[in-house]
Amino acid sequence: MLAYLLGLSALATVILLVFRHLRKVYTGPSAPGPLLAKWSDLWLVCKVYRGSFETWNIGQHASAGKVIRVGPNKYSIDDPGAIKQIYGFHNAFKKTTWYSTAADPKVGPNDNLFSVQDRQIHAAMRKRQAGFYAMSSIKSYEPSVEECVTALVKQFDALCTSRLTFDLQVWLQCYAFDAIGQMTFGHRHGFIDGGGQDIEGMMGFIWNVQSFSTLLGLTFPWGLPFLLLKYGVPTAGVTAFVGRLRDRAQAKSFDATSEDVDDNKPMTFFQKTVRAEQADPEASYKYRVSVVNQQNMMAGSDTTSIALTSVIYNCINHPNVWKKLKDELRMAAESEKISSPISFEETQRLPYLQQVLKEGIRIHPSVGLPLWREVPEGGANIADKSFPAGTWVGINPWVAHRNKSVFGEDAASFNPDRWDPTCTPKHKLDEMEAYSIAFGAGTRVCIGRHIAHLEMSKLIPELVRRYDFELIHPETELETENNFFVKQKHLEARIYAHENPF
Ligand code: HEM
């Protein structure tokens, strides 16, 4: 009898699952896309696993239009008009369960700012962290970044002398990693000083964590055993590493409660979180304030290094841009408008530098998958199609940035002049700005974007003033891997010092 009942309930469960699946397949709007994708998520999983989803995604939208079906209830969107609706500040759609795999499973989806889905909890969390990352705090982090620029220049000088070749992306990640470490914990991990080495395999760990959670977010729960076999438990390494950094920072005996602590003096992220915890331990725990430190390590190294690499790589391939940048900086130096090292404030007054940075981030956004959001109760009409509640929709920054109706026929080319207000009318600049989503958009826009700007604005001018770069294999196409971050690979280069740095 028991066996009969168990069999019956197993059958009922299977029927229910099949029914739920068919409902997804038939209630979603029809849209072009691979046939298999309509029936199973397996197609998307395999496509993402292969590591070049953004290329396929761009091609599909270019040939088949604004809406592409990539799973039974998943759609990739390319429509500037949909940005506000999906991501905007008023009633933006919430993040999908895909993000919960970026959380500590012991805590659940509300573990960190990136993973949290509930909009109210997110708003409360973000409010508590916003000050740490605000533009007004940037000045206080500048000395930390400057130290890392100096350390990198020292290493690059040595590479000029030795004439050795090096991997551009790896060195720029060393810089990004050390800079965020110094801002967060008050000391460099030592990636730069260690000669461009992946200390304790951290870069590899972080990359694996991202691959793991990207694929798990699409396959949970059935994919878990396969992913554990392939990657092990990748978070363990990162947590241990961050723990060691935290202990070292703690050992500096910072008493956050001390009356002598001056809020107007520069503090690291770590010190700020300790101070917040001591002031209100309950709220700090509830809103995960101390997770900020680990969050910085996870979110702030691959992303910024990809953007930096894009700028340098594209400048190497466009010597006219490199020259124009040099001219701008040389003139500014000669007329004493910039100091050495350059200050963040000064970099904001160099229009061509800002155009080049913006274009570098546009042409190669660090994130290369759709930023998934869930259609809310009542459904939604997007790009002239009706989507039922619960459908996943998302815009991929790579797709958005290749949209020719927004960025012009040369959308796939690196052209910093497109951001020049004397060449492009204001309404067009606004249109491009609104569809530039390298840092995401709306309520969930990257909280670390000013930090990234600080790191980029401080480093690029110092490189332009001192060096020229050369690719060892200029004829080969840029190799990349997309696991959510689209990282450049095997970018072998050589560096030459200017005779007269300015
Ligand atoms: C060029 C560098 C960077 C790029 C291109 C970038 C890109 C992004 C994108 C696209 C998102 C939105 C993801 C989504 O909606 O699905 C995001 C969110 C986030 N980023 Fe960044 N990021 C960069 C640097 C940083 C840095 C340096 C930090 C930390 C110091 C950081 C911390 C975060 C956090 C915590 C979130 C979640 C924000 C929220 O949901 O409220 N990012 N980033």
pLDDT in tens, 446-498: 999 999 999 999 999 999 999 999 999 999 999 999 999 999 999 999 999 99
Q: Which mutation among 395, 436, 446 tests ligand 1's pocket best, with the greatest number of atoms within 8 A of CB?
A: 446
Residue of the CA atom closest to atom 20 of ligand 1:
446
Closest to 74 in 3D by CA, of 40, 99, 49, 46: 40
Closest to 450 in 3D by CA, of 133, 109, 76, 40: 133
The atom number, within ligand 1, closest to the CA of 295 reads 35
Contact of 126 with 446, CB cutoff 8 Å: no
Query: What angle, rounded to 10 degrees, do the helices at 42-49 and 53-64 form?
Result: 120
Between the CA of 369 and the centroid of ligand 1 the distance, in Å, is: 14
Burial of 142 (0-12, 13-18, 19+ CB in 10 A): middle
Between the CA of 455 and the centroid of ligand 1 the distance, in Å, is: 14
Residue of the CA atom closest to atom 6 of ligand 1:
439
Between the CA of 340 and the centroid of ligand 1 the distance, in Å, is: 30
Between the CA of 304 and the centroid of ligand 1 the distance, in Å, is: 10
Between the CA of 99 and the centroid of ligand 1 the distance, in Å, is: 13
Between the CA of 64 and the centroid of ligand 1 the distance, in Å, is: 30
The atom number, within ligand 1, closest to the CA of 183 reads 30
Q: What is the mean pLDDT of residues 380-402?
A: 97
Would you say residue 308 has pLDDT above 80?
Answer: yes
Q: Pocket around ligand 1: residues whose beta carbon is below 6 Å from it? A: 113-114, 126, 180, 295-296, 299-300, 303-304, 307, 366-367, 371, 438-440, 444, 446-448, 451-452
Between the CA of 13 and the centroid of ligand 1 the distance, in Å, is: 39
Q: What is the mean pLDDT of residues 47-52?
A: 98
How far is 202 from 241, CA to CA, in rounded Å? Answer: 8
Between the CA of 447 and the centroid of ligand 1 the distance, in Å, is: 6
pLDDT on residue 448: 98
Percent of all residues in the chain with a pLDDT value above 90, rounded to a whole number = 79
Of the listed ranges 48-57, 73-82, 261-270, 274-283, the one predicted with least confidence: 261-270
Question: pLDDT tens, 129-156?
Answer: 999 999 989 989 999 999 999 999 999 9
Would you say residue 64 has pLDDT above 80?
Answer: yes
The pLDDT-based confidence of 252 (bands split at 50, 70, 90) is low
Amino acid, res. 19: F
- Tokens 């900086």 correspond to 329
Q: Which mutation among 54, 137, 303 tests ligand 1's pocket best, with the greatest number of atoms within 8 A of CB?
A: 303
The atom number, within ligand 1, closest to the CA of 367 reads 10
Between the CA of 14 and the centroid of ligand 1 the distance, in Å, is: 39
Of the listed ranges 276-280, 303-307, 325-329, 472-476, the one predicted with least confidence: 276-280
Would you say residue 259 has pLDDT above 60?
Answer: no
The atom number, within ligand 1, closest to the CA of 372 reads 16
CB hemisphere CA count around 111 (13 angstroms): 15
The atom number, within ligand 1, closest to the CA of 397 reads 10
Query: What structural domains and CATH numbers belong to the chain?
Result: 25-114+124-497 (1.10.630.10)
pLDDT on residue 243: 86
The atom number, within ligand 1, closest to the CA of 301 reads 27
Q: What is the mean pLDDT of residues 38-59?
A: 97
Contact of 268 with 249, CB cutoff 8 Å: yes
Would you say residue 318 has pLDDT above 60?
Answer: yes
pLDDT on residue 234: 76
Would you say residue 239 has pLDDT above 90?
Answer: no
pLDDT on residue 439: 98
Assign 3-state DSSP to the chain and report helix, strand, coil percentages, each to 5.
60, 10, 35
Between the CA of 296 and the centroid of ligand 1 the distance, in Å, is: 9
How far is 177 from 198, CA to CA, in rounded Å? Answer: 10
Residue of the CA atom closest to atom 41 of ligand 1:
444
Q: What is the mean pLDDT of residues 200-219?
A: 93
Residue of the CA atom closest to atom 9 of ligand 1:
439
pLDDT on residue 381: 97
Would you say residue 253 has pLDDT above 60?
Answer: no
Residue of the CA atom closest to atom 7 of ligand 1:
439
- Tokens 């977010």 correspond to 217
How far is 132 from 137, CA to CA, in rounded Å? Answer: 6
**Range 224-245 burial, b when 16+ CB lie within 10 A, else e:** eeebeeebeebbebbeebbeeb
Question: pLDDT tens, 348-384?
Answer: 999 999 999 999 999 999 999 999 999 999 999 999 9
Would you say residue 84 has pLDDT above 80?
Answer: yes
pLDDT on residue 157: 98
How far is 147 from 76, CA to CA, in rounded Å? Answer: 42
Q: What is the mean pLDDT of residues 284-302?
A: 93
pLDDT on residue 500: 87
How far is 112 from 290, CA to CA, in rounded Å? Answer: 10
Given the DSSP bridges, would you call strands 74-77 and 392-394 parallel, antiparallel or unpaired?
A: parallel
The pLDDT-based confidence of 240 (bands split at 50, 70, 90) is confident
Question: pLDDT tens, 12-24?
Answer: 766 666 666 666 6
Would you say residue 113 has pLDDT above 70?
Answer: yes
How far is 375 from 324, CA to CA, in rounded Å? Answer: 46
Amino acid, res. 350: L
pLDDT on residue 11: 72
Residues 6+ apart with CB under 8 A from 7: none
Percent of all residues in the chain with a pLDDT value above 70, rounded to a whole number = 94
- The SS3 assignment for 373 reads strand
Average pLDDT value for the chain: 93
pLDDT on residue 254: 59
The pLDDT-based confidence of 248 (bands split at 50, 70, 90) is confident
What are the E-state strand segments in 108-243?
166-167
Contact of 440 with 384, CB cutoff 8 Å: no
The atom number, within ligand 1, closest to the CA of 306 reads 1
Residue of the CA atom closest to atom 31 of ligand 1:
448
pLDDT on residue 256: 60
Residue of the CA atom closest to atom 12 of ligand 1:
440
pLDDT on residue 17: 62
- Residue 315 annotated as binding? no
Given the DSSP bridges, would you call strands 373-374 and 94-95 parallel, antiparallel or unpaired?
A: antiparallel
* Residue 412 token pair: 């796939």
CB hemisphere CA count around 337 (13 angstroms): 11
Burial of 461 (0-12, 13-18, 19+ CB in 10 A): buried
Q: What is the mean pLDDT of residues 391-400?
A: 98
The pLDDT-based confidence of 85 (bands split at 50, 70, 90) is very high
Contact of 435 with 406, CB cutoff 8 Å: yes
